[in-house]
Structure 1
Amino acid sequence: MQGRVLIIAGSDSGGGAGIQADIKAVTALGGFAMTAITALTAQNTLGVHGVVAVDPAFIRQQMAVVLDDIGADALKTGMLHDVPVIEAVAEEIALRAKGVPLVADPVMVAKGGHPLLAPDAVGSLKARLLPLATVITPNLPEAEVLVGRPIRDVAGMRAAAADLRALGVPAVLLKGGHLDGDTVTDLLVTEGGAEEFVDARIATRHTHGTGCTLASAIAAGLAQGLSLRDAVVRARRYVRAAIAAAPGYGGGHGPLDHGVTVDPGRMLR
């Protein structure tokens, strides 16, 4: 086990996204996952049915006790649902984890359409959290909110990524899965330039938690000393394998097979 990753995000009772997906992804890639839970959701493959917020002071306490004792080699943020939570998390990162790589996934809407970020919190997210990040991993709807315009093609993705970097973010991994077509293009933009990752689209409805899983997989790579590009390449391969091996659970957007890297049979050999 190598690489300590502190994940600050919401819980998904269905196990496909959120903290549950984060822990599974980090573990599947050989890292050690720790958590600060920001909200509890009653959730399944059909959608989010209820949300209970966690007191921002308690979120900070979760972060503080973990960082002071165990420490972290990387951080990952997910669902930070309102201004007080964003402010609390940003303050705690600046206080106790300055310089630790941060993968910020700007979670705004659940797969089923339920809003997970208050509309008035977008400005706080842009001003307080994103400048602390090593890389941000928005999907296209999230990026459209952040830049304030539609993104309809890869050229639009490149322009949006440039605008996101102008917010003070060193790197952007803009995920293009919401564009139409038989291929999916993700765009990694850093100070050194832009790189497109293009793969055939996997035809499936079982994609719940892909964003959480990808961001945590990248964080695991950074925690283990991989370069950002290598962490992204490995994370994308892992997520694609997990989608392809999805177990087919539930009547809606089902979970991935986060354990696709695991061979339980070896314990019997």
Structure 2
Amino acid sequence: MATLIVIPARYPSQRYPGKPLVPLTGATGESRTLIERSWRAALEVGGDARVVVATDDGRIADAATGFGAEVVMTSDRCRNGTERCAEALDALGGGYDIVVNLQGDAPLTPPWFVEALVADLSAHPVAEVATPVLRCDGRALNGFLEDRRAGRVGGTTAVFGIDRNALYFSKEVIPYTSRDYGAAEPTPVFHHVGVYAYRPSALAAYPRWEPGPLERLEGLEQLRFLERGIHLTCVEVEARGRPFWELNNPEDVPRIEAMLTEAGLA
């Protein structure tokens, strides 16, 4: 299936202005910007996907073309990454069976996460959107809880039904659990990985909908699909020993750099 991978990136950010251009040092000691690391992660995805960076900012566009990325300029009216992906698809003229949103703040996204989404949508024509979820071990869950205790908004958690249909996503840690878990022990909490695979029809419809109350409260773009009754399926993926985290706050930089080194990523 013809696949387009879009990496949406914007410069302004309430929590971390200029985040896409933040330098991150990897295993070899080489410093690369967040957007370049996310682009390199996209290039690792199997298949013959086209990879583009979508932005409305000249600084990000210049940096991206500088390291060899294809750039699609979008408007400054996009309210989130999904709307930016929709604009990018329209600007490119369509022609794709699946569009992947690989958010520019997730350089640790393994290629098999994206490959699992594309395979799932290909095998289940009823699904309109797919997104990966990763079962937290005790170490990851404690990281979530530590962030919340410190008043930081960290990663997002997901709950879904037996059929894997998404029920809710939250920046709070859900579902509630009262017990302690060992560092490597599996927990009932799932970390939502900020990657999406869309049918082009669902992606094209998205910008026409106004954000609902849940999306506005949580600040989570995927809730617009749930509030509109769109079939969004959660695909459980495995880390295979690779650490995963998104860069949400300045405090995440040393955590991400340590994980890049642990994963052996240059």
TM-score (norm 1): 0.32
Higher relative contact order (CA 8 A, sep 6+): 2
